[in-house]
Amino acid sequence: MIAIEQVSKRYAEHVVLGPVSSEVPAGGITALVGPNGAGKSTLLSVIGRLLDPSAGSVRVMGHDVQATKSADLARIVSILRQENRLEARLTVRELVAFGRFPWSGGRLTFGDQQHIDRAIRFLHLEDLADRQLDALSGGQRQRAFVAMVLAQDTEVVLLDEPLASLDPKHAVAMMRELRAAADDLGRTIVIVLHDLNMAAAFADRILALKDGQICVEGTVDEVMQDAVLERVFDTPVRVHRIDDRPFAVFTP
């Protein structure tokens, strides 16, 4: 689904990523984890063609993201960055409607309206649909942006730390919704996560980066091991099993 080949990114002489190669299979949730500055966001941005790699290439569903027209790519890949500042005043519904731009060029059809309604319902934003974004809490805003990305109706969805600024309740709710998007809507979701246990609980696969290199990748059970995580984070970690699920605890 997503083929990453020898991708690297450097600023001047400073290499922030790569070269890395990997393959993300279709369907399910793949979590990108790793310490600060490991290159998670950089890799995600390169896949979503927001950043040009210094070398290497990324293919999504067979399309080279550098060579394919951006407007065409927007119908198979959507990406949401962490910071989403807006000068204009928009309602939730107006924001979600932007997700349909790649399909209808800004002139909404009846089908577009249905996609927008579905995305709003999917993230439980019905009551907020006509509220201005700047009158919402951080978590509600975050959900509105995720709804926009889902309305874009792409096979591949890339999300950069969508849980930042969410409390545990809303973080879990968001992950459940993404889980449902993967399971019920058949999306392939790649998500940068800070919280290792959130990744373990909701993702199918984990890809751990460290110093711009892929340190380890595999299923949740393969990655959630004491030795593996200690190598990724350079910190003593113990993985416990609670209710038959792995939990990483950083030992003081």
Partner 1 sequence: MPDALPPRAPAPRALSDRAPSAPTGTRPALRLAIVWSLALAALVAVLLVDVRGPLELAMPRRATLVGGILVASFAHAVATVIFHTVTSNRILTPSIIGFDSMYTLMQTLTVFVFGGSAIAATDGLPKLLAQTALMVIAATALYTWLLDRSGGGVLTLLLVGVVIGLAFDSVSSFVQRILSPTDYDLLSLELFGRLSSVQPDHLPLALAVCGAVGAVVWMRRRRLDVVLLGRDGATALGVDHRRELIVALICVSVLVAFATALAGPMTFFGFLVATLAYRLAGSHKHAHVLPMAVGLGVLALAGAQLVMRHVFDAAGLVTVIIEVVGGIAFLALLLGRRRPK
Residues found near partner 1 in the complex (CB under 8 A): 45, 48-50, 59, 61-63, 69-76, 78-81, 84-91, 93-94, 97-99, 101-113, 130, 152
Nearer to partner 1, 76 or 166 (CB): 76
Cα–Cα distance, 160 to 154 (Å, whole number): 16
Least gap, CB of 145 to partner 1 (angstroms)? 9
Least gap, CB of 9 to partner 1 (angstroms)? 13
Nearer to partner 1, 32 or 224 (CB): 32
Least gap, CB of 197 to partner 1 (angstroms)? 28
Nearer to partner 1, 191 or 206 (CB): 191
Nearer to partner 1, 47 or 216 (CB): 47
Residue type, 44: L
Which residues are CB-neighbours of 204 under 8 A, at least 6 positions away? Answer: 28, 29, 30, 182, 219, 220
Where do we find the tokens 């907020």? 128
Compute φ and ψ for 108, nearest 5 degrees.
-70, 130
Nearer to partner 1, 8 or 154 (CB): 154
Report DSSP state, residue 96: H
Burial category of 81 from C-beta neighbours within 10 Å (exposed 0-12, middle 13-18, buried 19 and up):
middle
Least gap, CB of 127 to partner 1 (angstroms)? 14
Least gap, CB of 213 to partner 1 (angstroms)? 24
Cα–Cα distance, 238 to 188 (Å, whole number): 30
